[in-house]
């Protein structure tokens, strides 16, 4: 514990109090990656997340809606259909991909909701 330089008249610390200056020092976790595993992970993840953010922005500008920001760069590079970007799944087989894209295009834009018990069932 550092000693404080107090003003004898008021009893408060003076402007040049070394103890107050030392108490206000803090060390960023990024300065000690061996003591803070989160800092070491951030050194690896931050550049990847920057790439994903940029890819997410480009996809949104093109009218796509990626499922997550994380992984957007991968989907931007690998996806062949819009539905793959929206669902967050890459479909390897071209025939399956085409069939899935056609089914995805037929989905209604708004969810169908039953408002009363007298309405017809939705799944019919």
Provide the pLDDT for residue 17: 80
Cα–Cα distance measured from residue 80 to residue 91, given in angstroms and rounded to the nearest whole number: 9
CB 52 within 8 A of CB 75: no
Nearest alpha carbon to residue 38 among 48, 51, 28: 28
For range 60-86, the mean pLDDT:
92
Alpha-carbon gap, residue 68 to 87, rounded angstroms: 10
Least confident of 18-22, 86-90, 113-117: 113-117
Residue, of 114 and 89, whose pLDDT is higher: 89
pLDDT in tens, 90-123: 999 999 999 999 988 888 776 667 677 787 766 6
Residue 44: pLDDT over 60: yes
Sign of the Cα pseudo-torsion (61, 62, 64, 67, in order): negative
pLDDT at 30 over 80: no
Q: Which two tokens stand for residue 66?
A: 């990626």
Res 8: pLDDT: 67
More confident residue, 73 or 45: 73
- Answer yes or no: is pLDDT of 86 > 80: yes
Helix ranges restricted to H, the chain: 18-23, 37-61, 72-78, 82-87, 94-106
- For the chain, domain boundaries: 45-105
> In angstroms, rounded to a whole number, what is the distance separating the alpha carbons of residues 104 and 124?
18
């Amino acid at each position: 514990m550092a000693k404080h330089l107090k003003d004898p008249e008021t009893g408060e610390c003076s402007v040049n109090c070394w103890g107050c200056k030392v108490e206000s020092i803090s060390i960023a976790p990024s300065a000690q990656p061996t003591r803070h595993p989160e800092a070491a992970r951030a050194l690896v993840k931050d550049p990847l997340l920057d790439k994903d953010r940029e890819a997410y922005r480009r996809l949104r500008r093109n009218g796509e809606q990626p499922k997550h920001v994380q992984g957007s760069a991968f989907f931007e590079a690998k996806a062949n259909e819009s539905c793959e970007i929206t669902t967050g799944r890459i479909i390897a087989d071209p025939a399956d991909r085409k069939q899935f894209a056609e089914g995805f295009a037929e989905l209604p834009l708004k969810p169908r909701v039953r408002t009363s018990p007298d309405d017809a069932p939705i799944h019919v």
